[in-house]
A and B are shown apart, each in its own frame.
Chain A
Amino acid sequence: MDLNHLKQIVEALLIATPEPLTQTRFKLCMGDDIVDIPLPEIIDALQMEYKESGRAFSIKEVAGGFQIATNAEYEPHVKGLFTKSGKLRLSQAALETLAIVSYRQPVTRNDIEAIRGVSSDSSLRTLLDRKLLEIRGRDEGPGRALLYRTSAEFLQYFGLNSVQDLPKLREVEDLLSEEPEELV
Chain B
Amino acid sequence: MVIKPHRIDLEMFEGPLDLLLFLIKRDELNIYDIPIAQITKDFLNFVDLAKELKLHSAGDFVLMAATLMKIKARMLLPIEADGDDEIEDPRTELMNMLLEYKRYKEAAGAFENMERKERPHYYHIPPSWNPKQEDQTALLEDVKLYDIMLTFQYLLKNYEEPSTHAVAVDEVTLSEQAGFLNGLLQAKTSLSFSSLLEKFESRLIIVVTFLAILEMLRSHQIKIKQTKLFDDLLISRGTKFGS
Q: Chain A residues in contact with chain B, CB under 8 A?
A: 15-18, 60, 67-75, 78-79, 81-82, 87, 89-90, 92-93, 95-96, 98-100, 102-103, 115-119, 128, 134-135, 156-160, 167, 169-170, 172, 175-176, 180-181, 183-184
Contacts and interface: CB of A to CB of B under 8 A. Distances in A.
Interface in B75-119: 96-97, 99-112, 114-115, 117-119
Contact of B99 (A81, A119, A157, A172): A172
A17 B126 CA distance: 7
A184 B115 contact: no
A98 B117 CA distance: 17
21 contacts: A15-B124, A69-B124, A70-B121, A71-B120, A73-B120, A75-B119, A87-B119, A92-B108, A95-B111, A95-B115, A116-B15, A116-B104, A118-B17, A119-B56, A135-B146, A160-B114, A169-B104, A170-B103, A172-B96, A180-B24, A183-B21
B25 A118 contact: no
Contacts of A96: 14, 104-105, 108
B126 A157 contact: no
Contacts of A90: 111-112, 115
Nearest to B109: A95
Nearest to A69: B121
B28 interface: yes
Contacts of A72: 120-121
A120 to B, nearest CB: 9
B115 A115 contact: no
A89 B113 CA distance: 11
B144 interface: yes
Nearest to A148: B146
B29 interface: yes
B99 A175 contact: yes
Contacts of B145: 135
Main secondary structure of the interface of B (DSSP, over half): helix
B64 interface: yes
Contacts of B15: 116-118
B97 A67 contact: no
Nearest to A101: B104
Contacts of A175: 31, 99, 102-103
Given A68-B124, A79-B122, A99-B104, 20 more contacts: A18-B126, A78-B122, A82-B122, A92-B14, A95-B111, A96-B104, A96-B108, A98-B108, A103-B107, A116-B15, A117-B15, A117-B16, A117-B17, A134-B146, A159-B114, A160-B114, A167-B107, A170-B106, A172-B100, A172-B103
Contacts of B144: 134-135
Interface residues of B, number: 49
Contact of A68 (B25, B99, B111, B123): B123
Contacts of B108: 92, 95-96, 98-99
B214 to A, nearest CB: 12
Contact of A128 (B21, B103, B146): B146
A79 to B, nearest CB: 8
B119 A117 contact: no
A71 B119 CA distance: 10
B93 to A, nearest CB: 12
Q: Lowest 7 A-B CB distances belong to which pairs?
A: A118-B15, A75-B120, A72-B120, A99-B107, A95-B108, A117-B17, A69-B121
Contacts of A99: 104-105, 107-108, 110-111
Contact of A184 (B25, B120, B122): B25
